[in-house]
């Protein structure tokens, strides 16, 4: 039995108690951003329910795109190559038309100056110039539109192919058959290795989801709420199958059995549930080792000092070791949500808004460098280029605060 399924009654029971406790506190101290709000809670529970079903269906579909095995792998790869070729042609047409249009504009301006000076070389001697310029302008616009759409198709097809293949070939069951260390068995030591190993890999995957925009598009779902309570823990993504993660299957190469890796995942997820609360202010000396509600509140902050900090799951020591730790500061209260909030409780919008922005950015770009940067670089890089657009994340601090 999945431990997270067994824990469901505890999830709902603790949320009910927390909501009651926060309501009583609000009566004494006034409302706050950690109180339950009906629409926000429903949105979080809907996202959580979807995260149990949609990724399972998506993975079954994605198996068809694995190189060498999937029945749709070759058509998808062919579509990506064809779209990239069409983009290259459209880019070339646009650049050539832009150069020609620039010549026409220069001639037109020169003829106009000559006409003003009374020269024989007047604009009237080139009656076809305005029409030619207009045709070239329309050609540029058409070529740029084609290039934008085919670039989106090329990147999407290639990304789906790579992600599907990577996920399939780094699965725990497949890698365990090729393990480089002996089977560790099913005892407490093996489970301890699985839990610790999962926690370490999780740190890097969580950090990656904050530092690469295509990965942020998956994870932004969890940060989209402007509230912070136990229901926020259930606001989980639907699109994990579109990501390229550090594989937890690496533990299988070290002799950890796949069923123990799965148990480690479940324990990790259950642990992360309870730290989404404001009811527990501090755990004292354990704050130095464990990821606590205080550390995770800072992680969910949209304040500049809290961005891209405290990526740990059970342990906070990884953040201390790798320079991403930030202590919750009572003089700088946490502001929950995104740096530019999306202002919606619509689950579909919550799940897809960052993908929609990526598509728009790629479509509007005119070089492959910009197109790829809008996909793989940090969300802050993209957000700097359109600060008025909601849903983004500001650039990280130049240097992490010392632990």
- pLDDT tens across 275-294, in order? 999 999 999 999 999 999 99
What's the confidence (pLDDT) of residue 386?
78
Reduce the DSSP state of residue 94 to 3 states and report it: helix
Q: For the chain (length 403 residues), average pLDDT per consecutive 10?
A: 93 98 97 97 97 92 94 96 98 91 53 45 41 76 96 97 96 95 96 98 98 98 98 96 95 97 97 97 97 98 96 98 97 96 96 97 96 96 79 45 37
What's the confidence (pLDDT) of residue 170?
96
What's the confidence (pLDDT) of residue 113?
47
pTM over 0.75: yes
Helical H runs in 212-234?
213-223
What's the confidence (pLDDT) of residue 85?
98
Q: Which of 334, 332, 340 is nearest to 390 (CA)?
A: 340
What is the per-residue burial (b if ≥16 Cβ within 10 Å, else e) of 125-146?
Answer: eeeeeeebbeebeebbeebbeb
Reduce the DSSP state of residue 352 to 3 states and report it: helix
What's the confidence (pLDDT) of residue 133?
59
Neighbours of 113 (CB within 10 A): 12
> How far is the C-alpha of 379 from the C-alpha of 373, rounded, in Å?
10
Contacts of residue 158, Cβ cutoff 8 Å, sequence gap at least 6: 77, 80, 84
């Amino acid at each position: 039995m999945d431990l997270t399924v067994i824990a469901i009654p505890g999830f709902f029971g603790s949320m009910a108690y927390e909501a009651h406790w926060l309501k009583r506190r609000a009566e004494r101290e006034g409302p706050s951003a950690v109180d339950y709000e009906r629409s926000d809670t429903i949105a979080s529970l809907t996202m959580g329910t979807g995260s149990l079903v949609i990724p399972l269906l998506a993975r079954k579909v994605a198996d068809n795109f694995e190189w060498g095995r999937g029945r749709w792998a070759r058509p998808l790869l062919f579509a990506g190559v064809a779209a990239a070729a069409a983009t290259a042609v459209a880019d070339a047409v646009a650049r050539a038309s832009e150069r020609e249009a620039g010549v026409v504009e220069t001639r037109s301006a020169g003829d106009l100056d000559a006409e003003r000076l009374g020269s024989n070389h007047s604009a009237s001697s080139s009656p076809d110039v305005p029409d030619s310029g207009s045709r070239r302008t329309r050609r540029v616009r058409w070529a740029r539109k084609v290039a934008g759409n085919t670039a989106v198709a090329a990147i999407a097809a290639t990304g789906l192919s790579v992600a599907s293949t990577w996920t399939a070939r780094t699965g725990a069951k497949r890698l365990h058959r090729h393990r480089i260390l002996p089977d560790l068995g099913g005892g407490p030591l093996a489970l301890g290795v699985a839990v610790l190993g999962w926690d370490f890999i999780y740190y890097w995957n969580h950090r990656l989801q904050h530092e690469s925009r295509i990965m942020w598009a998956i994870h932004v779902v969890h940060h989209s709420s402007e509230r912070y309570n136990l229901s926020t823990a259930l606001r989980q993504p639907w699109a994990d199958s579109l990501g390229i993660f550090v594989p937890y299957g690496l533990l299988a190469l070290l002799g950890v059995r796949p069923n123990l890796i799965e148990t480690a995942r479940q324990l990790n997820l259950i642990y992360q549930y309870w730290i989404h609360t404001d009811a527990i202010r501090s755990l004292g000396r354990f704050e130095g080792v464990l990821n606590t509600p205080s550390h995770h509140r800072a992680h969910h902050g949209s304040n500049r000092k809290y961005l891209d900090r405290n990526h740990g799951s059970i342990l906070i020591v990884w953040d201390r070791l790798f320079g991403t730790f930030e202590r919750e500061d009572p003089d700088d209260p946490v502001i929950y949500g995104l740096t530019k909030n999306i202002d919606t409780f619509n689950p579909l919008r919550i799940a897809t808004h960052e993908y929609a922005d990526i598509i728009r950015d790629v479509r509007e770009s005119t070089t492959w460098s910009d197109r790829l940067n809008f996909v793989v670089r940090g969300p802050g890089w993209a957000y700097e280029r359109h600060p008025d657009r909601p849903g983004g994340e500001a650039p990280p601090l130049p240097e992490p605060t010392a632990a």
